[in-house]
Each structure stands twice: as structure tokens, then as C-alpha cells.
Amino acid sequence: MKVRFWGTRGSIPVSLTAPDVRAKILHALAGARDVDLSTPAAREAYVDALGFDVAGTFGGHSSCVQLDVGHAEHIILDLGTGVRPLGQQMLARHGPATPQTYHVFLSHLHWDHIMGLPFFTPVYIPGNRIVIHSCHAHAEFALRRQQAEPSFPVRFDQFAARIEFDVMQPGVPAPIAGTTVTAHAQRHAGDSYGWRFDGGGKSVVYSTDSEHRLEDEEERVGFIRFFDQADLVIFDAMYSLADAISVKADWGHSSNIVGVELCQAARARRLAMFHHEPGYSDTQIERVLQETRRFEEITRDGHRLEVISAWDGLELTL
């Protein structure tokens, strides 16, 4: 399996500002005072050593992940703004004359997870087929409504691709695009569902917009089973644990600490923190990552869990 992250922010897309870029440049220049940068290789090595929060960015598109299992049909997780560059790459790769089938799995129907649909170029190309899988009976209504006048100039009915809706049932596995797909109910306003994909001896869990009540043992056990020995768990780690259980309780999101604890109990192999707080800078996200890795290390019980923070453009091969 290959996984590519196209959008990793939560709640609303964000972008780097001019002051953000300037701060990164100043940080880099300050560290270069006594460094030999006379050759291209030396300059590259210096940039690579700066740290991702300075030399790169976690990005600002809202939720969208692509799963490639080597099947002719494509798998997309959520329709945040990250689906726009995904669509551009698909068009560049396959061209408009070669029809494609896209299987889209929606976690839920809040704007940040569906707002990219009208900017997904394949929906305007005749011959393409887009199957939208969800556990929401009103998914079609929600997608049509966001493009109804006066909210958007292009109506849903103007899409040229064939669009189908498939309402799935949580806990009932289904064979789709070379994988076995299972949905799992999550705690979030308006209902949210996680997705597990098993195929080719690998497994990926996509669990975003999910709040976890520490006192609910039945719920905890259900998620441990859902995450069981997954090669990758993409997890909503939007808040700190303190915020998640206090000022932001009932906001429908989780924390880095809960993600580690659930993945440790499930013996998952890798945790990708996802749905980053839109108000966090790259430096803050990097700090959360380092703190989370330290927490995993000191709570490890013999099983090592790899912890990463997802960023727009990250590619993983499982």
C-alpha cells in the first residue's frame, strides 16, 4: 500500500503568510553565520539540517488522503481542499481521454471535509465515475446543498462525471477497489465514521474527527479492535489532552496522547497525527511531534510505535 497526504489541517484550510515565511528565512540565516555555504551540496546539507518546521511546512489544505493499493480504481479519503491538487495530478497522469473510477470515503459531512469537491477536476470530465461511500443517508443532499445558489456558481447537476452514492453500514466489511473496507462509528457532532482498509497483507486506518471519552471502556475497546495491528493509523490529534478533556470537551476531536495509548494497546505499527489545529504554526506542530515521541518512548511496554506528523505531500509506502 502507498499513502499520500494531500490535506492535513482540521476545521479550515490555512496558508503561510509573508511574516511566517520571513521568520523562517531569518531563522535559517541566523544559523548560517559560521557555515560554509559555498557549494550547492553544502547549501542543500544546511537546509536539510534545519528541521522540517523551518525548511518546510506541514501545509494548510483540509483533510484529503489518497490510498494506492495497485488497483485500477482509485481510493480517496475525504474531500477537503487537498483534493484539488490530487485531481490535478490525476489529470496529468491519465489525461481527460482515459476514464477513471474514484472511490471516495467520507468521514462525515462538515464543510472542511467536503468543500474540495467542486475543485476536483475529474468531476467535470465525461466518462469518469465517482463513487461516494459514506454511512450518512443524506450525503447526496449535503453535497448538492453546498453548491446550490447562492452559495456556489456551479450546480451539482453540472458535473459531467457519473456520480454514485453508496450508503454503507458500520462494522460490515465490503470488498472495494482491491481492499476490504470496514467503517466504525465515532463520537462527533453529526456523526463521524472511521475507515479501515485491509489488502495485500497491509492495513490502514483513517480515524479523524473523533472524540474519545477516557471513562468509556466499551468505546475504548471498540477502537482498539478497529486499530488492531494496523500498519498505519491516521489519527485526529488536533488538541492537547488537557484541552480535549476540559475547555474543548464535546468539540469532537482527540489528542496526541490518546492516539498513542490506543495505538499502543492495539499494537499498531505507525501513528500519523492528522487534522492539525489550524491556529498552530509549523513550530508548534513540530513541538507536539517531539513531545509525542517522548511520551511514546517513556510509556512503551516492549512494542515500539513509530510516531509521525502528517504533512501535505507526505508519501508513505507500507
Residue 131's domain spans which residues?
A: 2-15+56-317
Residue 10 lies in a domain: yes
Residue 245 lies in a domain: yes
| Segment 265-312, tens digit of pLDDT | 999 999 999 999 999 999 999 999 999 999 999 999 989 999 999 999
229, 240, 230, 223: which is closest to 284 by C-alpha? 240
Count of structural domains, the chain: 1
Q: Distance between the two ends of the chain, CA-based, in angstroms?
A: 5
Whole-number pLDDT of residue 244: 45
| CATH number for 229 | 3.60.15.10
**Any bridge partners for residue 272, and if so which?**
234, 308
313: left (phi over 0), alpha (psi -120 to 50) or beta: left
Whole-number pLDDT of residue 252: 58
Residue 141 lies in a domain: yes
pLDDT < 50 regions, the chain: 244, 246-247
Residue 21 lies in a domain: no
Residue 268 lies in a domain: yes
* Set of cell numbers at residue 233: 493509523
Residue 51 lies in a domain: no
Residue 132 lies in a domain: yes
Taking residue 98's Cβ as centre, other Cβ atoms within 10 Å add up to: 11
Report d(CA 212, CA 254) in Å as an integer: 6
Report d(CA 158, CA 247) in Å as an integer: 43
Which residues lie below 8 Å from residue 152, measured CB to CB, with a gap of 6+? 118, 146
Q: At what angle do helices 217-227 and 256-266 cross, to 10 degrees?
A: 70
Whole-number pLDDT of residue 190: 80
Q: How many CA atoms within 13 Å lie on the side-chain side of 201?
A: 2
Residue 58, CA distances (Å) to 2, 13, 16, 44, 118 in order:
19, 12, 10, 20, 24
Residue 61 DSSP code: P
Report d(CA 126, CA 250) in Å as an integer: 43
Residue 307 lies in a domain: yes
